[in-house]
Amino acid sequence: MHLVYYYLSALRGNPLLIGVTVFQLWMLVDAIRREEWLWAVLIFIFPGLTALWYFFMVYRAAPSATQGFELPGAGKRKRIKELEVLIHNLDKPHHYLELGDIYFQKGDLAKAEGCYRASLQREPQDIDARAHMGQCLLRQKKAEEASTILYQVCVENPKHDYGYSLMAYAESLQMLGDTESAIHVWKRVLEEHNYARARVQLGELYLAAKKPDLAQPELQAAINDDRHAPAFQRKRDRVWIRRARSLVR
């Protein structure tokens, strides 16, 4: 009890110690959320440099290529192990697809691509595997191959993955410099959905084309919708809302 009182007293008089404490708690919470249990225990037992080490080895090392580009669903370490066993024993395409989606969400795009290709070798016409493969290639800047795959998916089913495949196709067109076609596809997305990801990128294209009168309503609509969105959606869309606010300013 005396130690706690002493520590709290030291905090009040030392802004640097407050900063270090907040940083350690931040890293501890992050380790728990990632299910990095060993790191969580080490940060708790050996505070200080352990938290800093975790920041560079795990927190900063996590790829951000898929930030704001989620596929439906998420994965955990336990499920990865289960899928690896199923693949070894059964070698089914849908197991490769699910594993690829988990790696995509984790930001390990090379492993995700390998899983999608393995799935397509076993079931070449699977629309989910083709669509997610296209998204994975796009995040790796392989826009031409991604655009071809995503175009075929969207012709087959324009509403696939609740419009996510169509959004990825629009992004591949942007990456290839086909602005006019990208604008057309973004407008198609917004006919069915109200995604901040779509509104902000459409607004950016309008600004690049020197059409601020068309960009402003899209960006402002994304910001206004975010104010009334549920917490999980605001967390998912925050990268787009930050960009929208920056463009409006």
Query: Rounded distance, CA 197 to CA 143, Å?
Result: 18
Number of domains in the chain: 3
Contact 224, 216 (CB under 8 A): no
Whether residues 33 and 102 share a domain: the answer is no
Cα angle for residues 158, 242, 234 (degrees, 5° grid)? 65
pLDDT in tens, 212-244: 999 999 999 999 999 999 988 998 899 999 999
**CATH value at residue 161:** 1.25.40.10
Whether residues 169 and 200 share a domain: the answer is no
Query: Rounded distance, CA 70 to CA 234, Å?
Result: 13
Whether residues 205 and 148 share a domain: the answer is no
> Has residue 73 been placed in a domain?
no
> Has residue 37 been placed in a domain?
yes
Which tokens belong to 184? 């057309």
Whether residues 177 and 235 share a domain: the answer is no
Whether residues 106 and 173 share a domain: the answer is yes
Whether residues 121 and 172 share a domain: the answer is yes
> Has residue 100 been placed in a domain?
yes
Which domain, by its residues, includes 18?
2-57
Whether residues 116 and 175 share a domain: the answer is yes
78 or 238, greater pLDDT: 238
27 or 180, greater pLDDT: 180
> Has residue 7 been placed in a domain?
yes
Cα angle for residues 107, 35, 105 (degrees, 5° grid)? 20
Looking at 155, 172, 187, the residue that finishes a domain is 187
Q: Which of 53-67, 122-136, 167-181 has the lowest mean pLDDT?
A: 53-67
> Has residue 71 been placed in a domain?
no
pLDDT band at residue 66, thresholds of 50, 70 and 90?
A: low
Predicted TM-score (pTM) of this structure: 0.71
Contact 73, 202 (CB under 8 A): no
> Has residue 63 been placed in a domain?
no
pLDDT band at residue 56, thresholds of 50, 70 and 90?
A: confident
Contact 68, 222 (CB under 8 A): no
Selection from 61-75, 193-207, 222-236 with the highest mean pLDDT: 193-207
How much is the pLDDT for 4?
46
> Has residue 18 been placed in a domain?
yes
